[in-house]
């Protein structure tokens, strides 16, 4: 029955090769290509001279520095708000569902429904809700609450917050399901033991359930981080390639898109600078995920 090690190795290679080839062609190669783009000058989409780190230096100087830092700031705010509010809400809902209230299955399904909606639809849906003339939320704020006017998506002070809220509405079902699965994975006997030991519901939540959700927290924090720093879709649907109003929705991904492919107001493209943005974005996400994952894993409980 024992097969020689060589044929075993060949078999393993045989099964691994297709996946490896796909990864190389469609993920590794484009990533390396993007990095190389940043090192050249471009005229529209035709490559010019090799210029080394010129585009990275341009990115570090005005006017692009301010634009990039503002975009990075929006990404960071998005991350912090989603990390605390979206995941906080998800944790509360998950705990409520964990108690198996009447209709738990219905609520679980309903909460998850927006997650499978296309983000473009979510964006337009909320633009309709918030339409400055006939949006139901606008009418409610003006007629019932009594505001003079209500147009948060047109106001650079509120646009980002409003868009983040939309994103939370759309995505909260996902961490909810992950937390719920984590809670359900805690053996019943442990909860019973805690109850007999005299712990009340809050103490069980705080001392038993929360600490045992470590793996769920790790994956959710990392996914929230990646999602927030690569955020593109909703800002694009709401504010276009410039992140209107007044660049208040600009993100790093949006900036990369605008520089590489142009936008409606300026059709000029700057692929080299766009490439530099994408490389910096990639480095931030890679480093953040790596350090985050390492740190969070260390804190998880080894059962």
Partner 1 sequence: MTTLEIRNVSKTFGDVEVLRDISLAIEDGEFLVLVGPSGCGKTTLLNCLAGLENVTSGDILFNGRRVNDVAPKDRDIGMVFQNYALYPNMDVRGNIAFGLEMRKVPKAVQAEKIAEVARMLQIEPLLGRRPGQLSGGQRQRVAIGRALAREAGLFLFDEPLSNLDAKLRVEMRAEIKLLHQRTRTTSVYVTHDQVEAMTLGSRICIMKDARIQQFGTPRDLYQNPANLFVAGFIGSPAMNFIPVSPRRAGQELAFSLNAAETQTITLPAPPGAATADLVLGIRPEEITLAPAQGAGEAGLDCEILMVEPTGPDTLLSVMINGAKVQARVPPHVDFRPGERVRLALSPARMMLFDPGTGARISADR
Q: Which residues bind partner 1 (CB under 8 A)?
A: 187, 189-190, 192-199, 203, 207-208, 211-212, 301-303
Is 36 or 203 the residue whose CB approaches partner 1 more closely? 203
* Shortest CB 195 distance to partner 1, Å: 5
- Residue with tokens 């409520």, as numbered in its chain: 96
Is 143 or 189 the residue whose CB approaches partner 1 more closely? 189
Is 51 or 194 the residue whose CB approaches partner 1 more closely? 194
* Shortest CB 196 distance to partner 1, Å: 5
42, containing H or E segment: strand 40-43
* Shortest CB 202 distance to partner 1, Å: 11
Contact (Cβ atoms closer than 8 angstroms) between residue 249 and residue 270? no
* Shortest CB 103 distance to partner 1, Å: 19
Find the length of the chain.
303
Is 105 or 207 the residue whose CB approaches partner 1 more closely? 207
Q: Which of 224, 208, 107, 228 is nearest to 175 (CA)?
A: 224
* Shortest CB 216 distance to partner 1, Å: 13
* Shortest CB 182 distance to partner 1, Å: 13
Cis peptide before 88 (omega within 30 of 0): no
Contact (Cβ atoms closer than 8 angstroms) between residue 218 and residue 273? no
Q: In 3-state terms, what secondary structure has residue 43?
A: strand
First to last CA, the chain: 36
CA 63 to chain centre: 27
Angle subtended at Cα 140 by Cα 138 and Cα 145, rounded to the nearest 5 degrees: 110
- DSSP 8-class letter at 266: -
Is 149 or 203 the residue whose CB approaches partner 1 more closely? 203
d(CA 172, CA 220): 11
- DSSP 8-class letter at 2: P
Is 191 or 246 the residue whose CB approaches partner 1 more closely? 191
Is 33 or 193 the residue whose CB approaches partner 1 more closely? 193
What does residue 50 show for φ and ψ, rounded to 5 degrees? -70, 125
Cα diameter, the chain: 82
* Shortest CB 12 distance to partner 1, Å: 31
């Amino acid at each position: 029955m024992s097969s020689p090690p060589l044929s075993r190795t060949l078999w393993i290679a045989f099964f691994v090769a297709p996946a490896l080839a796909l990864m190389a062609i469609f993920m590794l190669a484009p990533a390396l290509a993007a990095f190389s783009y940043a090192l050249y000058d471009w005229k529209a989409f035709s490559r010019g001279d090799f210029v080394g780190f010129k585009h990275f230096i341009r990115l570090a100087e005005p006017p692009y520095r301010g634009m990039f830092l503002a975009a990075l700031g929006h990404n960071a705010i998005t991350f912090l708000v989603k990390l605390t509010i979206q995941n906080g809400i998800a944790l509360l809902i998950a705990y409520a569902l964990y108690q198996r209230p009447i209709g738990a299955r219905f609520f679980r399904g309903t909460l998850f429904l927006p997650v499978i909606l296309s983000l473009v639809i979510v964006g337009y849906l909320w633009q309709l809700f918030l339409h400055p003339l006939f949006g139901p939320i606008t009418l409610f704020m003006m007629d019932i609450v009594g505001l003079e006017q209500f147009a948060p998506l047109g106001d650079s002070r509120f646009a980002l917050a409003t868009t983040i809220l939309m994103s939370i509405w759309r995505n909260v079902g996902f961490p909810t399901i992950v937390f719920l699965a984590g809670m359900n994975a805690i053996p019943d006997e442990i909860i019973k033991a805690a109850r007999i030991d005299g712990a009340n519901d809050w103490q069980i939540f705080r001392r038993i359930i929360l600490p045992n959700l470590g793996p769920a927290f790790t994956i959710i924090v990392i996914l929230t981080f990646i999602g927030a720093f690569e955020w593109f879709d909703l800002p694009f649907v709401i504010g276009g390639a410039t992140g209107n109003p007044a660049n208040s929705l600009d993100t790093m991904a949006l900036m990369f898109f605008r520089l590489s492919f142009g936008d409606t107001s300026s059709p000029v493209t700057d692929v080299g600078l766009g490439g530099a943005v994408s490389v910096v974005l990639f480095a931030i996400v890679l480093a953040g995920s790596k350090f985050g994952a390492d740190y969070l894993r260390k804190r998880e409980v080894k059962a």
